[in-house]
A and B are shown apart, each in its own frame.
Chain A
Amino acid sequence: MSTPMKTGSALARLTDMVDAKDRYDVPPADLLNTQLEAANDLFQDRLARIPLLKNRAEEGHVTSVRSREDLVPLLFAHTAYKSYPEGWLSDKKWDRLGRWLGTISTNEVKDVDLEGVTNIDDWLGRLEKVGHFLCCSSGTSGKSAMMNSSQADLAWNRKEAMNSFAWGSGSEIGDKRKLFGLGPSATAPRNNAIRDALIEGFTDPGVEPFLYPVPPITVGQITGMVALRKAMADGTARPAEMAEFEATSAARETMMDRAITLSAEALVADRKQKMLLSGMYANLYKIAVAVRELGYAGSDFHNENTIYIGGGLKGASLPDNYQDYIAETFNLTPERTFQMYGMQEINSAMPRCSAKRYHVPAWLMLLILDESGENILPASDGEVEGRAAFFDLSLEGRWNGVISGDKIVADYNPCACGNHSPSIRDNIGRYSDLPGGDKITCSGTTDAYVRGIS
């Protein structure tokens, strides 16, 4: 058990529930006082340690947390994790980036050896040596968010991932399955922790997992794209550089196509084994098509197969029946299909139940705000629609409260599945995807002149 270091007893009582059977089953009213006590303990401890929190507290005149309302001015917008100037990354200003990271981290960013650091992957490696494990979101057109985790966070990720998967997938810790990683991954400490949790908890140690035959994307490769875009806007990108980037993308595309075939062949070869599949819908769909083209589906596969589905569609357009198509291909039943709602900004997942709703665990406070993110919505007897914000008591390496970009419909009343935690409907959207473009104005930046590269 990796209890966060400042162990107010309220906090420990809540995070210890990670192993409790009723972790998604306690009515929110029964938890609120303990949660607020734990939140206040964290607030008092972090106030002097996280500079941005100090700003928020001063501005919101918050000196202690006594109610859910007190938390609202203290929440960080998800964009706070990408508030660094892009130029620091492309110009390799590691020292300044370190100072920036310090303003949003619990632990001081110091003693980082910057000698010989030539790219962001090097820098991330040096940070890990002094206990800062950064998760970077993979925004390909915009900036990457960078979120600091401590060693304890990673241990928690591993534990929490194992338990939430068991709860939501009908699997037992100790199952002897073969893991199939069916999508390209990004190298991030948290992703690795979750993958390791799945392997440790649910696979046969004697069977080598199938890892997707495409090298993981590094943060450097992702931010390289961002840096190139900036260079294009500044007019400093050379045509040869852009052509090279296009060629690299094309090569990766070919590798991705090949990986679909290789995965389908491996799945067919091992079809009699009990599997744990892991991937995202867009890629899983392509692999399912390839498997069917090889002449296999349904009962050709083991009837206790299970699947871990990460993320949503990410803009991919698939036929309406894609979920059924994938399930039928690999002989998956709904109760063995694990889906969860979560985000890089928080440490905990909300697994989906049999009634297709996402459940909020005891150590995670769900706050539903208005669209502006400034006010908490009044309590309601039924479902409430608004902007999702969370206070994740399990977080240690950075501030626990964050406002997301997600539009959700949630309910604090018991769920049809029988569990009593707050739950979120399976129709999560993003505020940024809502209509509202087409602002015509004569003022603007070079962005309007930058044609992307494929």
Chain B
Amino acid sequence: MSVDTPTHPLEQEPAVAAHFFVRGKLVTDATVRHQSRDLGVDFTTPDIDLDQLIQPRSELPPLLDVKVDDIIDFLVETGECLALDRNPYMQEALERVVETNPLPRRVVENLYRGASFLLERSMLTSMVASNFANPAALDGWVSRTDIHGNSGSVRAFPPRMVHMLAGNSPAGCVSSIAQGALVKAINLFKMPSSDPFTTVAVLRTMADIDPDHPVVRSMSAIYWRGGDETIERTLYRPQYFDKIAAWGGGPAIDNVIRYLGPGLQLVSFDPKTSISMLGKESFADAATIDAVAEHTAEDATLFNQEACLASRFVYAEGDRKGIEQYCAKLAERLAVDRETASAIAPPVPPEMREEIEMLQMVGGEYKVWGTFDGAGMVVLSDERVSFHPTGKTVNVVHVDSLDDAVPFVNLATQTIGMYPYARKEVLRDRLACAGAQRVVRLGSAAKHVLGGPHDAMYSLQRFVHWMSDEDV
């Protein structure tokens, strides 16, 4: 099954050039022409040399004997060098990403500027500390003795990994690079068609610091059309890789699943939706309504609502009158220009627009605020709408009590922003039971406690190959 855009032989200029990075070396030929999925922009890449991508299992991983602390030092230095104003690779990537990615330039810029935060020492050390009971197992064999006095050692041995990167957040690759480096993996990054640039720019930055660094030699980043059997049937084999870390869902995952089997496992960062829950206290007075509306807007507009963190449904308990006041305010606040959102996002897609128009005409329990031009919309209803709100659209669902909102939480629910904050403690067990992964204070969906789990798992310990040496 082919599920991406077609690949054409190179015929015409100009097209945006995407480079490859293969085990530490930059490859710049423009041999194959592709089309980006979202915007249909042509870009060129080199040919894929499959043999170069695979390091034989007879060779030890380049990072095996490099201490985690040294890897962290290198990542931190990389982070410092990513500063957009000084880094020509990131500057060049920015120019190209804005051609292929639907995110507005300013949002991509802000994401790039925030990228070094993902490589800060405190971030990296807390990731290692929270993922491994004994981080020393990353650097060597750690001995332990069981209750019968039998002893042995274990090691978190470096895996061979494919990272299927998501296209909706161009800086996401920085986290994946950090994860791959921290577990000392041999890494292959499959770049998305909406951003076949950023990963290579980050890796080139690393190579400028030290071209022979084992981290650099452990990294490859290439593009192929997702679902291209000539590549995937060849590469996705347990002889070559242990783990596929995949962001996203739908056809992209359906494709990968065909190749899984003993020895080749999927660690999936699934597609998620985020929501908000508002207790009746939210509508106590005008000042609270304003503040709650602003906090909701902060959460709902993240990356123009393209992110999994971005809230789409707000479950609100209380009087209809206060909720309507809140909806009006929220529509105003959605239209505001922010660091991670533009005042005018891409307009509401036609099918969604049809449903909203219809609800407006049907009236009654349904009421609509805002405009279809991408400034943001609020749809108030007494039950969840059936479309998936995008383009800064929020469905406010009026419920008698937040208890009635719990059934709408499911395994695709990532972040739940809550107000008043104390309700988190009351509801969190039931939310977890329903499948949710994270409950936060309203307005802080994008803020994190360092080293926390992602998608309800500590992924680094799932990446590594736990090898055991036993003396019994």
Determine the distance from Cα of A195 to Cα of B339 in the docked complex, in whole angstroms: 61
Who on chain B is nearest to A54 by CB? B361
Tell me the residues in window 389-435 of chain B with beta carbons closer than 8 Å to chain A beta carbons: 407, 410-412, 434-435
Per-position binary interface string of chain A over residues 83-112, scored 1 when its CB falls under 8 Å from any chain B CB and 0 otherwise: 111110001000010011001000000000
Instruction: Decide: A438 and B226 in contact? CB cutoff 8 A.
Output: yes
Which residue among B38, B248, B249, B255 has the maximum number of chain A CB atoms within 10 Å of its CB?
B249
Determine the distance from Cα of A436 to Cα of B164 in the docked complex, in whole angstroms: 17
Determine the distance from Cα of A435 to Cα of B226 in the docked complex, in whole angstroms: 11
Instruction: Decide: B227 and A438 in contact? CB cutoff 8 A.
Output: yes
Main secondary structure on B side of the interface with A = loop
Does A234 interact with chain B (Cβ within 8 Å)? yes
Stretch in contact with the other chain, from A34-42, A117-125, A328-336, A446-454: A446-454
Task: Please indicate the chain A residues that have their CB under 8 angstroms from the CB of B385 in the complex.
Answer: 85
Who on chain A is nearest to B271 by CB? A444
Who on chain A is nearest to B252 by CB? A440
Tell me the residues in window 143-162 of chain B with beta carbons closer than 8 Å to chain A beta carbons: none
Say how far B41's CB is from chain A's closest CB, in angstroms.
13
Determine the distance from Cα of A87 to Cα of B355 in the docked complex, in whole angstroms: 13
Determine the distance from Cα of A442 to Cα of B434 in the docked complex, in whole angstroms: 20
Determine the distance from Cα of A85 to Cα of B379 in the docked complex, in whole angstroms: 13
Who on chain A is nearest to B303 by CB? A443
User: A55-B357, A437-B4, A444-B308 are contacts. A449–B37 as well, Cβ < 8 Å?
Assistant: no
Who on chain B is nearest to A104 by CB? B358
Task: Please indicate the chain B residues that have their CB under 8 angstroms from the CB of A444 in the complex.
Answer: 248-250, 270-273, 308, 412
Instruction: Decide: A52 and B386 in contact? CB cutoff 8 A.
Output: no
Who on chain B is nearest to A80 by CB? B354
Per-position binary interface string of chain B over residues 338-369, scored 1 when its CB falls under 8 Å from any chain A CB and 0 otherwise: 00000000000011001101110110100000
Task: Please indicate the chain B residues that have their CB under 8 angstroms from the CB of A100 in the complex.
Answer: 358, 362
Which residue among A55, A91, A96, A438 has the maximum number of chain B CB atoms within 10 Å of its CB?
A438
User: A438-B3, A440-B164 are contacts. A446–B361 as well, Cβ < 8 Å?
Assistant: no
Say how far B393's CB is from chain A's closest CB, in angstroms.
13
Instruction: Decide: A437 and B251 in contact? CB cutoff 8 A.
Output: yes
Does A77 interact with chain B (Cβ within 8 Å)? yes
Task: Please indicate the chain B residues that have their CB under 8 angstroms from the CB of A442 in the complex.
Answer: 166, 168-169, 172, 247-248, 269-272, 307-308
Instruction: Decide: B249 and A448 in contact? CB cutoff 8 A.
Output: yes
| Chain B interface residue count, Cβ-Cβ cutoff 8 angstroms | 59
User: A77-B354, A436-B5, A437-B251 are contacts. A443–B273 as well, Cβ < 8 Å?
Assistant: yes
Instruction: Decide: B358 and A441 in contact? CB cutoff 8 A.
Output: no
Determine the distance from Cα of A83 to Cα of B252 in the docked complex, in whole angstroms: 27
Instruction: Decide: A441 and B273 in contact? CB cutoff 8 A.
Output: no
Determine the distance from Cα of A440 to Cα of B162 in the docked complex, in whole angstroms: 15
Instruction: Decide: B166 and A445 in contact? CB cutoff 8 A.
Output: no
Say how far A83's CB is from chain B's closest CB, in angstroms.
4
Who on chain B is nearest to A403 by CB? B350
Does A439 interact with chain B (Cβ within 8 Å)? yes
Does A235 interact with chain B (Cβ within 8 Å)? yes
User: A435-B2, A445-B412, A449-B411 are contacts. A440–B167 as well, Cβ < 8 Å?
Assistant: yes
User: A443-B306, A444-B272, A449-B412 are contacts. A103–B358 as well, Cβ < 8 Å?
Assistant: yes
Determine the distance from Cα of A299 to Cα of B359 in the docked complex, in whole angstroms: 59
> Contact partner of B3 among A86, A91, A234, A437, CB < 8 A?
A437
Q: A interface, how many residues as a size bin?
A: 20 to 34
User: A79-B351, A85-B386, A448-B270 are contacts. A440–B411 as well, Cβ < 8 Å?
Assistant: no
Task: Please indicate the chain B residues that have their CB under 8 angstroms from the CB of A51 in the complex.
Answer: 361
Task: Please indicate the chain B residues that have their CB under 8 angstroms from the CB of A87 in the complex.
Answer: 383-384, 386
> Contact partner of B271 among A84, A86, A99, A441, CB < 8 A?
A441
Instruction: Decide: A79 and B354 in contact? CB cutoff 8 A.
Output: yes
Tell me the residues in window 212-236 of chain B with beta carbons closer than 8 Å to chain A beta carbons: 225-227
Tell me the residues in window 25-65 of chain A with beta carbons closer than 8 Å to chain B beta carbons: 51-52, 55
Instruction: Decide: A448 and B250 in contact? CB cutoff 8 A.
Output: yes
Task: Please indicate the chain A residues that have their CB under 8 angstroms from the CB of B269 in the complex.
Answer: 442
Does B165 interact with chain A (Cβ within 8 Å)? yes
Per-position binary interface string of chain B over residues 248-284, scored 1 when its CB falls under 8 Å from any chain A CB and 0 otherwise: 1111110100000000000001111100000000000
Who on chain A is nearest to B409 by CB? A235
Task: Please indicate the chain B residues that have their CB under 8 angstroms from the CB of A443 in the complex.
Answer: 168, 271-273, 306-308, 310
Instruction: Decide: B386 and A86 in contact? CB cutoff 8 A.
Output: yes
> Contact partner of B273 among A438, A439, A445, CB < 8 A?
A445
Does B388 interact with chain A (Cβ within 8 Å)? yes
Instruction: Decide: B270 and A79 in contact? CB cutoff 8 A.
Output: no
Task: Please indicate the chain A residues that have their CB under 8 angstroms from the CB of B357 in the complex.
Answer: 52, 55, 83
User: A77-B350, A85-B386, A445-B271 are contacts. A440–B247 as well, Cβ < 8 Å?
Assistant: yes
Say how far B276's CB is from chain A's closest CB, in angstroms.
15
Task: Please indicate the chain B residues that have their CB under 8 angstroms from the CB of A79 in the complex.
Answer: 350-351, 354
Task: Please indicate the chain A residues that have their CB under 8 angstroms from the CB of B193 in the complex.
Answer: 438
Given A442-B271, A444-B270, A448-B271, 13 more contacts at CB 8 Å? A83-B357, A99-B362, A435-B4, A436-B37, A437-B3, A437-B250, A438-B226, A441-B308, A442-B172, A442-B307, A444-B250, A444-B412, A447-B249
Can you report 26 residue pairs joining A to B where beta carbons are below 8 Å apart? A51-B361, A52-B361, A79-B351, A83-B351, A85-B355, A85-B385, A85-B387, A103-B362, A235-B410, A436-B5, A436-B37, A437-B3, A437-B227, A438-B227, A440-B168, A441-B166, A441-B168, A441-B271, A442-B168, A443-B168, A443-B273, A443-B308, A446-B410, A446-B411, A447-B249, A448-B271
Give the 5 A-B CB pairs with smallest separation, nearest first.
Answer: A444-B271, A448-B249, A437-B3, A440-B248, A438-B226
